[in-house]
Amino acid sequence: MAQDKQCSLLLEFASRFPLPHGARFSYGTAGFRSDGSILASTVFRAGILAALRSLKTSSTVGLMITASHNPVSDNGVKIADPDGGMMTQRWEPFADAIANAPDPEHLLQLVKDFVKEENIPFGGEQSAEVLLGRDTRPSGETLLKAAKHGINAIIGAVAVDMDILTTPQLHWMVRIKNKGMPASESDYLSQLSKSFSCLIDLVPKERVADCSDTKLVVDGANGVGGEKLEQLKKMLTGLDICVRNTGKKGEGVLNEGCGADFVQKEKITPSGFGPDDVGIRCASLDGDADRLVYFLISSSSSKNIDLIDGDKILSLFAVFIKEQFDILNNNSDSDNKLAVRIGIVQTAYANGASTSYLKQLGLEVVLTPTGVKFLHKEAAKYDIGIYFEANGHGTILFSESFLLSLEARSKELASTSSGSESHKAVLRLLAVSQLINQAVGDALSGLLLVEAVLQYKGWSIKRWNELYQDLPSRQLKVKVVDRNAVVTTNAETKVAKPLGLQELIDAETAKHPHGRCFVRPSGTEDIIRVYAEASTQEAADSLARSVVQLVDRFLGFPSSH
């Protein structure tokens, strides 16, 4: 009887959200993403998906409506798993299937088959909870209603509207709520401000930066991050933040000529920045505030910038964390050293100079295929795992067991040598674990950690940028008949198929000092991406062009040969 009621309820709700004619949707790293005007049926079905995920895990999950750094006309939806991370990949084929079900009857059958296969209680008395968030896009409100209908179509499921949020805030809330702790937006802001203050209080007096260097100008991408940073900065001391491109009415368009994606790709000043900002530390968030890059305007006569990307952010964090363990273990006897495995996780797109720098520090560096889901999973294998993509998305993960050992050491030192350098080092590491968002990359928490570390080191942005010199690089793409003809291995750095292509790439690469090149198929279209590095820009450009010709010869359209 309960099953019948559930089936009729789902059919009734689904009939209100027909699939747009000719549309096809695919759940990837970013969830579903498309033009906001055709997404209602997809978001409705994502609501069903989230409710079933909550029933399956007996935990709260999240549903975020955003298209991140995409244009304002786009929108999207993705599910946050109970740990605050991305929805398990195992459910992605089901997500695709229900998003593309042609009618309510097909949708119902897919759901019935899946709940049976996954042993999910369906139509019974078990409860489910889904936290809902959205960014500031105009289409967000309509899509939020569709998501609520999808959740309400599953008996026992409750939708909790958390209002307008950054994507990382929603992920944080899901993670914290499932730990049984308060998880409102004010709890998030409070945790960030308190842990930042703790780190600033632990800055050595002799390293305090010049007062003139506490000024930070932030490009909010005319998105949700600017608005949230305005709230957060009122809770901070020791930092002078000026937010531009806040998204207020009449100020500008979301992600248009601004934001982390624009700054990182174009390497020019975003709108709202100019000659008056020369020499000042500047940062850029993306539309939903999960990416962060810094930049320096070095000349009033040019729009060009010195970009400080995710690789440099990762390196700054790695230097700081390694230094805390050096302090801790150098001041301990051999029986009392704190054993730790620190892992640095990058993709092949990380600049080779950053990888060399990190290895020179004595840190373990591993590469994964492109995509946050691969980076996050690898970072979780370490006591402390640090990952960042060059685009500015990344975070630091602390294992639960290692945090327990840090807390135990803190108590021990508090009773024996409170205020010692070792005790301060432990307190700093614990504060970092509270400040950084361990669910997902978070531009706001990342920005505060950068600022705390720069103050701790007494470094200007110029000094930070001089950690290493990026190798010149070039990215190109080749249209091909079938991208699946290229199969890669070794974290996408080597071509396994077609046979013979890798040997030719190696021969071209060997012609250039500091040469490095790899190719990989796009995840969404029939193109092969080519990345090349060398000691000069001219050499990097030449290497990339040579490899494009090789790929075209092996895989290009016959008419182009």
Q: What is the pLDDT of residues 48-58, one digit of tens each?
A: 999 999 999 99
Distance CA(454)–CA(98), nearest Å, equals 48
Residue 298 confidence (pLDDT)? 87
Task: Determine the average pLDDT of the residues in 127-136.
Answer: 97
Residue 301 confidence (pLDDT)? 82
What domains lie within the chain, and their CATH numbers? 2-164 (3.40.120.10), 190-308 (3.40.120.10), 311-443+452-465 (3.40.120), 473-560 (3.30.310.50)
CA dihedral for 34, 36, 41, 45, sign (positive or negative)? positive
440-473 pLDDT, tens digit each: 999 999 999 999 999 999 999 999 999 999 999 9
Residues acting as catalytic residues: 68
Residue 211 confidence (pLDDT)? 45
Percent of the chain past pLDDT 70, that is, above it, reads 97
Residue 334 confidence (pLDDT)? 58
Task: Note if the pTM is more than 0.75.
Answer: yes
- The per-residue pLDDT of the chain, averaged, comes to 94
DSSP notation for 106-144: HHHHHHHHHHHHHT---SSS--EEEEEEE-S-TTHHHHH
Distance CA(560)–CA(191), nearest Å, equals 58
Name all contacts of 275-283 with Cβ < 8 Å and 24+ positions apart.
275/300, 275/301, 277/217, 280/215, 280/216, 280/217, 281/213, 281/215, 281/216, 281/217, 281/454, 281/460, 281/461, 282/216, 282/217, 282/218, 282/219, 283/216, 283/217, 283/218, 283/219, 283/447, 283/450
Residue 335 confidence (pLDDT)? 67
The binding site for substrate comprises 389-391, 520-524, 529
Residue 333 confidence (pLDDT)? 64
Do strands 60-65 and 128-134 pair parallel, antiparallel, or not at all (unpaired)? parallel
The binding site for Mg(2+) comprises 68, 286, 288, 290
By CB atoms closer than 10 A (0-12, 13-18, 19+), residue 151 is buried
Task: Determine the average pLDDT of the residues in 505-515.
Answer: 97
Distance CA(65)–CA(139), nearest Å, equals 9
